[in-house]
Amino acid sequence: MNHEQALELLPGYLDEELSLSEALEIQRHLDSCGECAQVLAQHRDVSAQLRSAQLRMDAPPELAKRIEAALPGRSAPWARLGERFKAQGNGNSRSVGSGSGSRWLTWPTWATAGVMVASVAALSVSMSLYLAVPSSEDRLTQEVVDDHIRSLQFNHLSDVISTDKHTVKPWFNGKLDFAPPVIDLVQQGYPLIGGRLDYVDGRAVAVMVYRYKLHPINLYVWPSEGTGIGIGAGAGTGTSTTQLREPAIHERQGYHLAHWSAGGMTYWAITDAGEGELRGFVTDLRGQLSS
Amino acid sequence: MADPIVAQRFKALVLPHLSSAFNLARWLTRNDHDAQDVVQEAYLRAYKFFPGFRGEDPRSWLLAIVRNTFYTWYQQNRGQASATVFDEEIHSAEMAAPHPHDNPEAMLIRSESQKRVHQALRALPLEFREVVMLRELEELSYKQIAAVVGIPMGTVMSRLGRGRQLLATLLAPMDQEA
């Protein structure tokens, strides 16, 4: 081993990351090379100073609280869920239906349904499904709203920027286990501006980004339940949304959302452009899809 | 995603590494406030991608997300030449003129020598600062650092060598004065 090679490997020697044979060669070299020995001593000193300077500090407690509060529409799942499971374990039975409606309470409600399915038997399955349907729909609505907002905030609207469907569609190849329909609606006043990969309802989904005037429209597409491979199959997963042949429009936090199923795919569209504009977009899109 | 099992796994595997995430973000941003924002965003991303996590090392996985989140944030903010704090040149001047009040934790560092090490690490260019911090503060292996930073292990080693050499230079003149 020559001097340059030894010098290169010195950090690895100091950090004990070398193989035994390399370490032995370095040792041999150090015996005869004052320069390397000096560099090693210097670096060892720097390392010791860094480790003793108390540069590391614990995360502030409020950060943990902020993170829990910021998780979108999930009501700080670990905190509440942990308590919930403990309460269940102590035989403290709570009403499954309590607190439905508020998005902060739907999660534990839904979780309780999951626990019931797991612990009780067939009898409660139908009940929990009955309970899970509206709340999972509600949760999915919130998830899409949160994702839409985030896509705008962090300038992550598009991973592939193109107004050409022949660019956007192949971009999804290999990134998803399905081929999303990519349709241009520039003639109708909704130009396609790009696409991205996102994560909704426990799976990777395709998002096509359109624009109406200055308003972005996010269109989420994934295979409908039964045809797709949802993550975590079985009772207690979030894929049990009602399948709608006709679009349902809701409003949340000032955004309008439409969702429907067609051709084995589930579609969610969201925008701040307004209800009429969203309806127009959905009608035009569905017209193109079926033609 | 609203699977209670997933939420529990996330709680058990990822949340305990909050301090590691915070420290990485702190040394990348060199600002506690921005560090908190970066960590919060990183946790949201981590939660989102958690069902796809199949690895054995949740800390490295999380730290890689923290780092990516930081770089996204950094690129978006570096264009703003306002009073914000991520200009490398401004900060390398800190060695000459340290600002003891610019972050509250600096006040907590007691000894002069600790303060000097703190300032030296702050002044290190980003690409060296991150590997040095991951090695010396988080005590990650080269393999883990390579995974977090997305570089080969040989590059981890050479950056550590250069980083320590720069730190030795930064710390040396003051040693003589003392």
How many C-beta atoms lie closer than 10 Å to residue B6's C-beta?
Answer: 21
The model's pTM: 0.51
Which of B5, B117, B141 is the closest to A53 by Cβ? B117
Q: Are B110 and B164 contained in the same domain?
A: yes
Can you tell me the distance from the alpha carbon of B77 to that of A156, in angstroms, rounded to the nearest whole number?
A: 14
Can you tell me the distance from the alpha carbon of B137 to that of B150, in angstroms, rounded to the nearest whole number?
A: 19
Q: Are B1 and B44 contained in the same domain?
A: yes
Residue pair A270/A257 in contact by the 8 Å Cβ criterion: yes
Closest CA to A6 of A181, A28, A17: A28
Q: Which of B39, B57, B78 is the last residue of a domain?
A: B78
Structure tokens belonging to residue A128: 């929990």
How many C-beta atoms lie closer than 10 Å to residue A177's C-beta?
Answer: 11
In a domain, B9, yes or no: yes
Q: Are B25 and B94 contained in the same domain?
A: no
How does the average pLDDT of chain A come out, rounded?
74
Q: Which residues contact A72 (CB under 8 A, 6 or more apart)?
A: A142, A143, A146, A147, A150, B44
Can you tell me the distance from the alpha carbon of A128 to that of A109, in angstroms, rounded to the nearest whole number?
A: 10
Q: Are B122 and B143 contained in the same domain?
A: yes
Q: Are B64 and B141 contained in the same domain?
A: no
User: Closest chain B residue to A12 measured between Cα atoms?
Assistant: B157
Q: What is the pLDDT of residues A177-220, one digit of tens each?
A: 888 888 888 888 898 888 888 888 878 889 998 988 888 899 99
Among residues of chain B, what percentage have pLDDT more than 70? 76
Can you tell me the distance from the alpha carbon of A278 to that of A19, in angstroms, rounded to the nearest whole number?
A: 63
Q: Does position A81 have pLDDT exceeding 90, yes or no?
A: no
Q: In this predicted structure, which of A52-66, A166-180, B26-40 has the lowest mean pLDDT?
A: A166-180
In a domain, B83, yes or no: no
Q: Are B25 and B102 contained in the same domain?
A: no
pLDDT at A102: 37
Three-state secondary structure call for residue A18: coil
Q: Are B147 and B176 contained in the same domain?
A: yes
pLDDT at A239: 44
The secondary structure of residue A272, as a DSSP letter, is S
pLDDT at A43: 96
pLDDT at A75: 44
**Cβ–Cβ of A63/B135 closer than 8 Å?**
no
What domain count does chain B have? 2
pLDDT at B79: 57
Which of A63, A78, A82 is the closest to B22 by Cβ? A63
Q: In this predicted structure, which of A53-67, A93-107, A130-144 has the lowest mean pLDDT?
A: A93-107
Token pair 């829990």 in the structure block, residue: A68
Q: Which of B14, B45, B78 is the last residue of a domain?
A: B78
| CA of A203 vs chain B CAs: smallest distance (Å) | 8
- B155: contact with A, CB 8 A cutoff: no
A145-290 architecture in CATH? 2-Layer Sandwich (3.30)
Q: Does position A253 have pLDDT exceeding 60, yes or no?
A: yes
Residue pair A120/A90 in contact by the 8 Å Cβ criterion: no
6-65 of B, contacting A, C-beta below 8 A: 6-8, 10-11, 15, 18-19, 21-23, 26-27, 32, 36, 39-41, 43-44, 47-49, 51-52
**Cβ–Cβ of A70/B21 closer than 8 Å?**
no
pLDDT at B103: 52
pLDDT at A180: 87
pLDDT at B139: 94
Q: Are B95 and B64 contained in the same domain?
A: no
User: Closest chain A residue to B43 measured between Cα atoms?
Assistant: A67
Q: Does position B11 have pLDDT exceeding 60, yes or no?
A: yes
Q: Which of B33, B56, B78 is the last residue of a domain?
A: B78
**In DSSP terms, which residues pair with A197 in a beta bridge?**
A206
Q: What is the pLDDT of residues B29-67, one digit of tens each?
A: 998 999 999 999 999 999 988 887 877 899 999 999 999
Handedness of CA A50, A51, A53, A58 (dihedral sign): positive
Q: Are B93 and B176 contained in the same domain?
A: yes
Count of CB pairs separated by less than 8 Å, A with B: 167
Gyration radius from chain B CA atoms: 17
Q: Provide the residue range defining the domain that includes B144.
A: 89-178
Across B70-75, average pLDDT: 89
Q: What is the pLDDT of residues A122-151, one digit of tens each?
A: 444 444 444 444 567 788 888 888 888 777
Q: Which residue has the higher pLDDT, B94 or B107?
A: B107
**In DSSP terms, which residues pair with A207 in a beta bridge?**
A196, A220
Residue pair A47/A14 in contact by the 8 Å Cβ criterion: yes
Q: Does position A116 have pLDDT exceeding 50, yes or no?
A: no
pLDDT at B2: 55
The phi, psi pair for A204, rounded to 5°, reads -75, 135
> How far lies B153's CA from each of A101, A198, B27, B59, B137, in Å?
52, 31, 21, 18, 18
In a domain, B84, yes or no: no
Can you tell me the distance from the alpha carbon of A204 to that of A214, in angstroms, rounded to the nearest whole number?
A: 27
pLDDT at A95: 38
User: Closest chain B residue to A156 measured between Cα atoms?
Assistant: B72
Sorted by where each begins, the domain ranges of chain A are: 3-52, 81-139, 145-290
Can you tell me the distance from the alpha carbon of A236 to that of A113, in angstroms, rounded to the nearest whole number?
A: 8
CATH number at residue B138: 1.10.10.10
Residue type, A42: Q
Q: Which residue has the higher pLDDT, B24 or A80?
A: B24
